[in-house]
Amino acid sequence: MATRVVIFFKTMQAARCPTDELSLTNCAVVSEKDLQSGQHVTVRTTPAHKFVFTVKCHHSVLPGTIAFSLPQRKWAGLSIGQEIEVANYNYDKSKQCIGAMTIEIDFLQKKSTDSNPYDSDKMAAEFIQHFNNQGFTVGQQLVFSFCDKLFGLFIKDIEAMDSSILKGEPESGKKQKIEIGLLVGNSQVIFEKSESSSLTLVGKAKTKEARQTIINPEWNFEKMGIGGLDKEFSDIFRRAFASRVFPPDIVEQMGCKHVKGILLFGPPGCGKTLMARQIGKMLNAREPKIVNGPEILNKYVGESEANIRKLFADAEEEQKRLGANSGLHIIIFDELDAICKQRGTSSGSTGVHDTVVNQLLSKIDGVEQLNNILVIGMTNRPDLIDDALMRPGRFEVKMEIGLPDEKGRVQILNIHTAKMKEFNLLSGDVDVKELAAETKNYSGAELEGLVRAAQSTAMNRHIKATSTVEVDMERAEKLQVTRTDFMASLNNDIKPAFGTNQEDYSCYIMNGIIKWGDPVTRVLEDGELLVQQTKNSDRTPLVSVLLEGPPHSGKTALAAKISEDSQFPFIKICSPDKMIGHSEISKCQAIKKVFDDAYKSQLSCVVVDDIERLLDYVPIGPRFSNLVLQALLVLLKKTPPHGRKLLIIGTTSRKDVLQEMEMLDAFSTTIHVQNISSGEHLVEALELLGSFTDAERTTIAQNVKGKRVWIGIKKLLMLIEMSLQMDQAYRVSKFLSLLKDEGADRGFYE
């Protein structure tokens, strides 16, 4: 609600402050008929002397009078009953917001002195909360209550806040002294004890240190240990913290409520906990409370809910005491899905999870709303969390912390190698950009692990492998981590959880691709076109192709070759041999996990091999798994999230079966892979394989010339290897015999 500004100018009488409690507010006290609480006025005592006060209304003050505390009367030279001129005063918030204020402090009464240390940081936070949105003048005197002690304060120096910060721009660095300023939530208060004081101060606020930089959007991510999350941090700042940077009265006039909850989700090791930790450090707030989800749960009835209430108790108490001036309380929940599962889904009969969720809901955004909290939740499984927690007003800022891109990986590697560079322990041949290009789909934690593994490899070179483990100190002093160390760790030690496992598809193309004719070349060319379409087309983020053909024609090898040549950061083969013995439900879950992992990468390729085997199809009956069929139909058509692209390559030997199951329509296109069907193609394949001598190939060519053959490349390889086990004189005849038998079964080789 906007504050009504009353235009005011009149002569009033000075009076004594009605209560001690009002004296501690540092406000001039007036009647509600004269002014409104929170307004600022100038008090002119003589033509040359005027003072600025913030006013507060109280029913005990008579209209036409304005009451001052003793320190205020001393400062302004006022006496009881004195007539003074009072007028409105409006602060120019672009020039008069306090950036930093230096205050001299001492015990108010000498008899109440003690030797206890007083934390100036807590004192500064309490001061800002207590006197938020009040005007202060250089030379002003006031009384301040802290830890049940009264202190006398003297305003020594005021610096204006850099106006760039209020605009969300980088600091200009200009410091301007002012006489009168308005205290706001992100002002810095510096306490200095008086020269003759016996007061003991501890903490940072007793020295000058610019606090407004803490809320500056221009972060030094590398010093904070954060890399690859610039955009995410920017978005979180815009959504969650922008309202906390502005003066509270502007926020109130806009009717703006602060964001109370942030949910960070994404794959493990991508920096969710690190980001939450830094959010806690970056704000001028209470020390964050960090809670692991399972720690909340307790075997005793009601204790789990009590643990939730304890987390919010301090924030509730402070809001009741200080209202809008209360400081920010941050509560960080790690593994949020452990305690906030969907209600009604727990298998146990106790219902503990449900009541914990209910308690958390009521505390974050219940009937009695708290506006001084920020709850940060972290999870790898946002799908498990109760829907009520995800609505606006609760965890309304949902931020996916995904796998870093190449620029992000450069930042992360620079962070983890900075110390080695500083002490000249990183060899000059290590190129961070090259490592970033080689580490597709690595998470931040995996990149840190890669650096550690390279360090271990380098250190291992300087350990003597004798009966005792000794370090060669002479060589150790010249220790350097080289490019070879990084490459060895990359190939052997650290593999990305969401990356491409080369062993998955290398076994399918261990004999290479035998381009025995145009049919093979055409399949590879069409596959390359589909790869380029997936990379470049924004209209088709999902591309799916089915390679169909007779058994042993090399469909899986071609699919693996197309996926390998794509150089996509994520390549996975969904194969029936990894699901032997799985139930229908567990098979569906395994297939879904492959696709879910693929959605987390910018570019992904999934090979769904031998689809009829995945479906448990047998011709007797016929019988197949309808559950797996429906899961595949859904996943083959599901478009990946915005900004992600997916290529699906399926293989089958039973196109007719998939046609009956209405699965062919789920693929964007179909490519036919055919067998070797002519003698010329057979001879070409033999020449490429190089298993027989020139003379042997000539004999085979004469025998197959003009004949119709029909054999898959895999079967051909098997026949060749079988023939090669014979003596050289019989190899050709054995091969031709096996070839004839193979073709005779199908009516070929005529």
Q: Catalytic residue numbers?
A: 555-556, 609-610, 637, 714
Under 8 Å between Cβ of 671 and 526: yes
Rounded-to-integer distance, Cα 53 and Cα 548, Å: 85
DSSP assignment string, 464-475: EESSSEEE-HHH
**Per DSSP, what are the bridge partners of residue 53?**
41
Write phi, then psi, for 16 (nearest 5 degrees).
-85, 145
The set of residues, in sequence order, having a beta carbon less than 8 Å from that of 170 and lying 6+ positions away, is: 164, 216, 217, 218
**Per DSSP, what are the bridge partners of residue 420?**
none
Under 8 Å between Cβ of 133 and 247: yes
User: Cα separations (Å) of 258 from 215, 372, 396, 690?
Assistant: 15, 8, 11, 73
> Which of 75, 192, 210, 194 lies closest to 138 in space, CA to CA?
75
**Per DSSP, what are the bridge partners of residue 652?**
548
User: Cα separations (Å) of 100 from 136, 158, 205?
Assistant: 12, 6, 11
User: Cα separations (Å) of 82 from 13, 64, 115?
Assistant: 6, 12, 41
Cβ-in-10-Å burial (0-12, 13-18, 19+) of 157 comes to middle
Which secondary-structure segment (H or E) carries 493?
none
Locate 534 and state its tokens.
Answer: 């997936």
Evaluate the CA torsion angle 628, 631, 633, 639 in order and state its sign: negative
Which secondary-structure segment (H or E) carries 350?
none
Q: How far is CA 333 from the centre of its chain?
A: 14
The set of residues, in sequence order, having a beta carbon less than 8 Å from that of 581 and lying 6+ positions away, is: none
Nearest 10 degrees: Cα torsion 492, 493, 495, 500:
0
Pairing of strands 570-574, 603-608: parallel
Pairing of strands 469-471, 463-465: antiparallel
Cβ-in-10-Å burial (0-12, 13-18, 19+) of 727 comes to exposed
Locate 389 and state its tokens.
Answer: 């927690």
Q: Residue-wise over 272-287: b if at least 16 C-beta within 10 A, else e?
A: bbbbbbbbbebbbbbe
